[in-house]
C-alpha cells in the first residue's frame, strides 16, 4: 500500500506526462511537488524498485502499468470528491482543490464506488475534467481552447486548463462557469487578446493567456 507521499509522486508524474508525452524530468517533478531535485531522485529510486516507475539514471521517469493504474484511481477519487464538494456541499470551484487533495488519499474501494453512485456517476468534474470510471476508463470530449475559435464563432465553456485559485475567481467575477455560452466578437491583433460576449449579454476582453486556459465545445446548442 502506497504512502501519501508516494501517491503524490505518482500523481505528479501522471500529470506531467499527460501533456508532454514520454517521461517526466527530475526537475519538473521537483517543481510540481515543491521539493528539491535531490529528494525527487531519492524517492524515484524507491518507487522504481516498487515497480511504479520506469527509471533510468539521467533519463527521467514514466509510469509502469501498475503506476498508471494507481494514478488513475487517485484522479478518480480526486475528481469525485471535488464534484461532491461543489454539488452537495456548495463549495465554489476555486475552493475544492486542497480539500480533495486530502480526501483522495482515503483508502477504500467501496467508499469511492458508493460516492460515485451517490453523485449519479458523473462524467466530468466541476472544472470540466473527465472522471475515470471504476475500470479506469474516461470519456474524452472534443474540446478546443478558446484561442482556437474564429471571429463570430460561438461555443460553450466545458473546462479549464489551470485550476489556479485566483484564475478561477477571476472567471467567476466575469460570470464564466462550465456551461456558459461564449461568442468571439473580435480579435485584438496587438496582444492576441479577444473581445467576447458572455451568455449573450456582457462584452469583455480576455487576454491571450486566459483564452489559452479555457476549453470550449464549438457549435453546441443547449
Partner DNA sequence: TTAAAATTTTAGACGTGTCTAAAAATATTT
Partner DNA sequence: AAATATTTTTAGACACGTCTAAAATTTTAA
Q: Which is nearer to a copy of itself, 11 or 194 (CB)?
A: 11
Alpha-carbon distance values, 94 to 91, 168, 211 (Å)? 8, 6, 18
Q: At a CB cut-off of 8 Å and minimum separation 6, what does 103 contact?
A: 77, 78, 81
Q: Residue 192's Cα: distance from chain center in Å?
A: 25
* 8-state DSSP, 178: T
From the list DNA, a copy of itself, none, partner contacted by residue 46 (C-beta under 5 to 8 A by kind): DNA
39 binds DNA (CB under 7 A): yes
6 binds DNA (CB under 7 A): yes
Q: Which is nearer to DNA, 11 or 194 (CB)?
A: 11
Residue 186 buriedness (CB in 10 A; 0-12 / 13-18 / 19+): middle
Minimum separation from the CB atom of position 58 to a copy of itself (A): 35
Task: Using the structure block, give the residue that is written with the C-alpha cell 476549453.
Answer: 215
Minimum separation from the CB atom of position 11 to DNA (A): 13
Binding site for a copy of itself (CB under 8 A): 85, 88-91, 95, 98-99, 102-103, 105-108, 110-111, 114-115, 118
25 binds DNA (CB under 7 A): yes
Task: Choose which of 18, 20, 27, 121 interacts with DNA (CB under 7 A).
Answer: 27
Polymer length of the chain: 222
SS3 191: coil
Task: Choose which of 10, 16, 44, 206 interacts with DNA (CB under 7 A).
Answer: 44
Task: Choose which of 20, 51, 59, 92 interacts with DNA (CB under 7 A).
Answer: 59
Task: Choose which of 12, 13, 43, 160 interacts with DNA (CB under 7 A).
Answer: 43
Exposure b/e, 23-43, CB count within 10 A at least 16 = b: bbbbebbbebbebeeeebeeb
Q: Contact, 55 vs 48, CB < 8 A?
A: yes
From the list a copy of itself, DNA, none, partner contacted by residue 43 (C-beta under 5 to 8 A by kind): DNA
Q: Give the footprint of DNA on this chain (CB under 7 A).
A: 3-6, 8, 25-28, 33, 35-46, 57-60
Amino acid at each position: 500500500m502506497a504512502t501519501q507521499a508516494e501517491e503524490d509522486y505518482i500523481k505528479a508524474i501522471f500529470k506531467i506526462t499527460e501533456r508532454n508525452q514520454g517521461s517526466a524530468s527530475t526537475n519538473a517533478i521537483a517543481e510540481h511537488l515543491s521539493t528539491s531535485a535531490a529528494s525527487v531522485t531519492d524517492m524515484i529510486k524507491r518507487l522504481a524498485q516498487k515497480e511504479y516507475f520506469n527509471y533510468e539514471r539521467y533519463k527521467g521517469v514514466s509510469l509502469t502499468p501498475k503506476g498508471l493504474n494507481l494514478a488513475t484511481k487517485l484522479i478518480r477519487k480526486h475528481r469525485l470528491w471535488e464534484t461532491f464538494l461543489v454539488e452537495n456541499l456548495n463549495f465554489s470551484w476555486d475552493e475544492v482543490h486542497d480539500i480533495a487533495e486530502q480526501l483522495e488519499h482515503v483508502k477504500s474501494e467501496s467508499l469511492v464506488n458508493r460516492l460515485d453512485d451517490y453523485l449519479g456517476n458523473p462524467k466530468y468534474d466541476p472544472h470540466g475534467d473527465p472522471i475515470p470510471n471504476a475500470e479506469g476508463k474516461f470519456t474524452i470530449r472534443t474540446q478546443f481552447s478558446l484561442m482556437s475559435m474564429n471571429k463570430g464563432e460561438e461555443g460553450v465553456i466545458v473546462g479549464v486548463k489551470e485550476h489556479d485559485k485566483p484564475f478561477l475567481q477571476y472567471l467567476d467575477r466575469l460570470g464564466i462557469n462550465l456551461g456558459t455560452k461564449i461568442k468571439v466578437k473580435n480579435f485584438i491583433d496587438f496582444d492576441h487578446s479577444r473581445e467576447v460576449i458572455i451568455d449573450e449579454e456582457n462584452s469583455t476582453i480576455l487576454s491571450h493567456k486566459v483564452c489559452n486556459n479555457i476549453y470550449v465545445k464549438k457549435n453546441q446548442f443547449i
